[in-house]
Structure 1
Amino acid sequence: MSTQFRASYYQHNGSSITTAPSLHSCSSFIISKLPDHPLSGNKRSLLLGTSLSFNSNKETTSVIRRRKRKNFEHGIVASSSNVATPIWESWKPQKGSSNPSLSDILWPSAGAFAAMAILGKMDQILAPKGFSITIAPLGAVCAVLFATPSTPAARKYNVFMSQIGCAAIGVLAFSIFGPGWLARSAGLAASIAFMIYARAPHPPAASLPILFIDGVKLHSLNFWYALFPGAAGCIILCLIQEIVCYLKDNVKF
């Protein structure tokens, strides 16, 4: 910054120095006192540059302060390592969010009830074959699809990519390590790595490997477990989600 101010021209004529009209008045005052001092031209230039640098830094600081004050008034907060978020902020409700209406509470809850009722009816049909489509991770999927439909975890790509991929990883981990803590740890770690790599975060799918490794009845499915019951159940849940979202947007009370 000081280099830019020193770029302002000056002329040395005997005992007087003429500065550009845009220089600060304080600099002009300092320069006017130079004739009484036995300084050479180089020393005068050095003193001039130091004076202009001081004034430019002072002006720059005032500009920054005004800009910060303006940003604060408009709600813009600059990120800084010196400003730390209080540790208790994450324990409070999200700021700016209004209280949900009765319809915003009722329709997702009704959708979850309908989903479990349909899956339960299908269990009755599949019972003679020894299969069940109602698994615990689908309850978490209901919460994601119905309560937070606009989040990345509720995207259809995320749901099916993670459900299929993590289920297959669970089968693979069981085939390599057998039942036990090593298979569960490897399956969970690989599932998280897969979701990150595929850009398909969907938290409920991370439980599928552990469910398969510990569920003896599921071992007979082998790699069919990648499609059933997780992915098959999500098809029904996604259809119900469309109905829930429509009701939330059009039937309010």
Structure 2
Amino acid sequence: MGLQNYLLKPPAPVSSSAPPLNSQLIVHSCSNIYSCKSNKKQTKLCNLVTSLGLHSHDGKRFTSVRRKGELRIVASSSSSSSNVPAPFWDSWAPQKGTQAPSLSDIFWPSAGAFAAMAILGKIDQILAPKGISMTIAPLGAVCAVLFATPSAPGARKYNLFMAQIGCAAIGVIAFTVFGPGWLARSSGLAAAIAFMICTRAVHPPAAGLPLLFIDAPKLHRLNFWYALFPGAAACILLCLIQEMVCYLKDNFKF
């Protein structure tokens, strides 16, 4: 306590007109804030407190935030974990505070994925004489996003169709400019990610569409029709199945 009292002292009252310290890091209802003047000696000691993972007397962890020449120490409770960067190893464990899924939460998304691939397989049989297919690998990832995490940003219809159409077109352009090979793959993937970020339509499965087009000779003859078929066209069917899966999950629990 002697070192802690030497380092940390309550901050001066801040007027309501002053900008917030950092709304992403501090929630005043569940955090205690201390500060120390930013001279070299005390800054090193404050950094030592946070780097060692020391906790306050009530079990809260110290983290440091710098503002206008002052180093502030934030003692945040575990309930505000979303506001404080988690330790590196936390990403290797299941998310805390989530309940185990029920049997219906597992069954309905899995059944939806089975139905989606079965329907697309039947469509493939019809399209087989033309040498094209509706069942492509990225659609498996689309099923996982739409059925297992329907509330995730990647499952938004805007993200889904904007990314599917845009990334597929980028794959065609990359192949046209660079031909088959590593340069087309790398530039196509980079451009697809940049496109999704710029349009705020991040949909991870769509990143595989440029690679699929470049490495699949049977798709080359589609040219820019590849932007609509098979990815975007199949996603219409998957969105319809998603609505059924969500309805069944909400109304038929077991």
- Tell me the TM-score normalised to structure 1 length: 0.71
Shift of 1:88: 1.4
Q: Hey, which bits of structure 1, 4+ residues long, moved more than 3 A?
A: 57-61, 66-74, 76-80
Question: Aligned ranges for residues 129-148 of structure 1 at < 5 Å?
Answer: 129-148=130-149
RMSD of Structure 2 on Structure 1 (CA)? 2.6
Structure 1 gap segments, 5+ residues each: 1-56
Give distance in 1, aligned partners of 2:9 and 2:221. 76
Equivalent residue for 1:121?
122
Q: Percent identity?
A: 73
Equivalent residue for 2:169?
168
Give distance in 2, aligned partners of 1:88 and 1:150. 26
Q: Is residue 2:187 matched to residue 1:186?
A: yes
Encode CA deviations 1:198-226: one digit per residue, 9 max, x unaligned. 00000000000010001000000000000
Q: Specify which structure has the higher proportion of strand.
A: 2
One-letter identity of the residue aligned with 1:202: H
Equivalent residue for 2:248?
247
Give distance in 1, aligned partners of 2:78 and 2:185. 50
Question: Aligned ranges for residues 28-107 of structure 1 at < 5 Å?
Answer: 60=11, 67-68=32-33, 72=76, 75-76=79-80, 85-107=86-108
Q: Specify which structure has the higher proportion of helix.
A: 1
The 1:77–1:236 alpha-carbon spacing in structure 2 relative to 1, beyond 3 Å, is closer
Number of equivalent positions = 193
The 1:228–1:75 alpha-carbon spacing in structure 2 relative to 1, beyond 3 Å, is same
Shift of 1:134: 0.2
Give distance in 2, aligned partners of 1:187 and 1:76. 40
Structure 2 gap segments, 5+ residues each: 1-7, 13-27, 34-57, 61-74
Equivalent residue for 2:218?
217
Give distance in 2, aligned partners of 1:172 and 1:152. 27
Equivalent residue for 1:155?
156
SS of 2:79's equivalent in the other structure is: coil
The 1:74–1:225 alpha-carbon spacing in structure 2 relative to 1, beyond 3 Å, is closer
The 1:74–1:226 alpha-carbon spacing in structure 2 relative to 1, beyond 3 Å, is closer
The 1:216–1:166 alpha-carbon spacing in structure 2 relative to 1, beyond 3 Å, is same
SS of 1:189's equivalent in the other structure is: helix
Give distance in 2, aligned partners of 1:242 and 1:145. 9
